[in-house]
Amino acid sequence: MARLASLFALMLVLWLVMSGHGEVWLLALGAASAALVAWISRRLESVDHEGHPLHLTWRGLGYWPWLAVEIVKANLDVARTILAGPGAVAPAVFTVKASQSDDLGRTIYANSITLTPGTVTMGMEDDGTLTIHALNAGARDGLDTGDMDRRVSKLMGEA
């Protein structure tokens, strides 16, 4: 029930921020829309620990800003690679092992890799092995340190 209430509140706040209206009639329509989204999500059984992970809220406050900085750094690396010319592009496909114990943690790790420019997660095996495509060696070196894997494990409460 807490996840459903949280989803309703999140949808309502999102509606308020995006609409910018404060008239009573429009607020009522926004609340009705948020309630409809929450009801449909409940009927679809998507308000669970994976679909709406409330347990990651506080630990995520440290992870998401770090990821945003990593995305900016990777963007700069990709820009340098492009400006250096075709010789700087050295694509590679390799695998890394995700140390997270559940599918949600592995998915967050795989998506974090894909969000970071210069790398794309191409596949995930049941044992947690991720197949990654990297634009250049610098993108691969960032994953070889294991820092992102450790941070995702910490986000999931496993480290």
Beta-carbon contacts of 153 under 8 Å, excluding residues fewer than 6 positions away, are: 99, 100, 105, 159
Q: In 3-state terms, what secondary structure has residue 92?
A: strand
For 16-23, what is the mean pLDDT? Answer: 84
Tokens of residue 35, six digits: 């309630």
pLDDT confidence of residue 51? 60
CA distance 152 to 60: 9
Report the candidate in 50, 38, 150 with the shortest Cα–Cα distance to residue 107: 50
> What residue ranges do the domains of the chain occupy?
2-43, 56-155
Number of alpha carbons in the 13 Å side-chain half-sphere of residue 32: 6
The confidence band for 54, taking pLDDT boundaries of 50, 70 and 90, is: low
